[in-house]
Amino acid sequence: MKIKKYILYSLAIAAMTSCEDFLDVNPEMGITKEEVYGEYYNFRGAMDRATALVHNYVFDRFDWDCEVGGFSDEAQAAQGGVPTVNSVNPGLWLDYKGRDFGFKNQNESSATNAANRGYNREPAGEAVAAIRAVNQCLANIDLLTVFPEEIGYTPEELKNQLLGQCYFLRGWHYFQIINRYGGMPIMDRVFDNNEDFDVARPTYLESAEWMISNMDEAIKYLPTEWKNASDKGRPTQASAKALKAMMLLYAASPNMNPDLNPYGSDSKLYNIDMAKRAVEASIEAIKSLEGTRYKMYDKENYFENFYSKIHPISDEALFQPPLTHTTVIEQYGGSGTGWYLPFFDGGWTVFNSPTQNAVDWFETSTGWDVNDSRGDFNPDDPYSNRDPRLKMFIYCHGDDMYPLKDKTDAKHPKTLDASEGSWHWNQFKNRQLTFTGYIHHKHRWNGNNNLENVLKYYRIFPFIRVAQLYLDFAEAANEVYGPTGAVPNTDLTAVEAINIVRRRVGMCDVRPEYTTDKETFRKRIYNERAVELYQEFHRWTDIRRWRIAKDLFKDVNCIYGAYIHSVNGELKYEKRLLDVAVRVFEDKHYWYPFDIATMNMMSVFKQNPGW
């Protein structure tokens, strides 16, 4: 069966071939391969096509209803009728394309409708195009002979830097595909469109081994640091080591190991061999941070991770998307604000709100789970004496939302009042929007609203942070050595790694009651990731790789909001199910489906189970 488009690799998307005109050089275009790949800056430009295709969730203006957290229990879309509510939350994924699903990558220059340029640039589609661009570069690396002399590197160093970035980017983009769709054929070369692409799929672990080999190559070639300020933010050896550790942790996870966790079963076993490799890789990555710019910000500078007046690069980000900066034209912080700014602050009615489910992840200040009867949580004063990150990340009832103004107007009450009948309550109800009782805070700088109108911040969205590296280590180490077991080649234990992350925001260490055994501590690790990586688009992937999503969503109505109301003049705080906030999740939803049209052309290449 000959399929003469890159069906397997682009999943029937014409953009795979149409958007790469610059790379598909031929004499009729007047551009030769030697011209594209023979000169350093041209070669780097071709490689940076893959950099530009790294999906940036805080810049792409067409991600207006795609807070990925809204797929999970982390957030809830305010407005009904949007794709998240209509297609993703009810589990209607087959043939659904858009946002996080599908393989489309519509290039802006080829869009027929100017208003929709770039629309539906889906991560897997961008990844396919990026891998192809990288493979073109790797196939033509021997043509590179012309190097600049003025930038302080030898030709060999410059060539190695390009090779390292190519392998890093190829591994990253392949990671984006297999984490959504499972094992995929190895994309290690530029394919001829006459090849037969109807082939058997490798397993996730087989795909992961090739992906990890790309990181090993990247580590060999990438610099420990970049000399030139203009290169800051490009991947380094530490970036590749951290990504390798993340890849190995994912490969160790229950969902990626069907032999241990068969389809339809409720088992959640880790691959211990892979987990041990993840521990080793994490240790290597942590050690590689010494002497570099990478660090965990202290509490006072924590939000330099996400926005900054000063710099566009987070020193905690081991890898982040291409740089962006807001402009006067991009009001209220520019594109991407649609998923965290409410409509009355300059966002759109399709924004998302934190759920009560998420608020309950934040422990008391003494480290007790709020649902633990042994603890000190006060349900009559639920937002006091909590993990400091709660108020850092989420506006709760009684919090001031406009710190720069002494006075606010009728459309911007200074304090969030989430109680029944309040101004905020009525704003949602009058528009028939879902009100959870909470507003996002984490990605919102002081004045990021249409009242104070503070603009021109760098907007940052780290994909891998130093804090995450410690969390990755803790998860893998707990599975292999337990909470407090000695780990070879390091003084770190799983518990200590978690405590390092907590201490930097002034949170107490994990309580000893939660470190008694691997199973008990695993729950705290999962919870710590949910808190520290809140609203960074990890939760949706995590609950699927851990195989806990079906448990979380076993009841269709399982998403809660705050119900704050007056009884005899006193406020009562309750949590109430949001009737319109459904989540449907079955075993088949642990992997995204390929569309029917593509699968009808395949006989050997198999659909994901259950679809």
Q: What structural domains and CATH numbers belong to the chain?
A: 7-261+592-596 (1.25.40.390)
pLDDT higher than 70, residue 324: no
> For residue 331, what pLDDT band results from cuts at 50, 70 and 90?
very low
Give first-to-last CA distance, the chain, whole Å. Answer: 23
Which amino acid does the sequence have at 244?
Answer: K
pLDDT of residue 403: 87
User: Rounded to the nearest 10 degrees, what angle do helices 466-481 and 494-503 cross at?
Assistant: 150
Radius of gyration of the chain (CA): 24
For residue 119, pLDDT over 80 is answered with: no
Residue 307 confidence (pLDDT) above 50? yes
The predicted model gives 334-344 an average pLDDT of 75
Answer yes or no: are the C-beta atoms of 174 and 247 closer than 8 Å: no
Q: Identify the pLDDT of residue 19.
A: 37
- Residue 340 is predicted with a pLDDT of 86
What is the average pLDDT across 39-52?
A: 95
CA 171, CA 208: separation in Å to the nearest integer?
9
Task: From 470, 471, 496, select the one nearest 483 (Cα to Cα).
Answer: 496
168 close to 218: Cβ distance less than 8 angstroms? yes
Of 53, 79, 50, 49, nearest to 64 by C-alpha is: 79
Q: DSSP string spanning 59-92?
A: T-TT-TT--GGGGTTSEEESSTTSHIIIIITTT-
Amino acid 13: pLDDT: 27
Phi, psi of 132, rounded to the nearest 5 degrees: -65, -40
Q: Which amino acid is at 454?
A: V
Amino acid 200 reads: A
Give 164's pLDDT tier (boundaries 50, 70, 90): very high
Q: How confident is the model at residue 28 (pLDDT cuts 50, 70, 90)?
A: very low
CA distance 75 to 77: 7
Q: What is the mean pLDDT of residues 411-425?
A: 94
- What's the rounded Cα separation, in Å, for the pair 456 and 469? 30
Model confidence at 235: pLDDT above 80: yes
pTM: 0.93
Confidence tier at 192 by pLDDT (50, 70, 90): confident
Contact (Cβ atoms closer than 8 angstroms) between residue 35 and residue 24: no
pLDDT, one tens digit per residue, over 581-611 is: 999 999 999 999 999 998 999 999 999 999 9
pLDDT computed for residue 62 by the predictor: 52
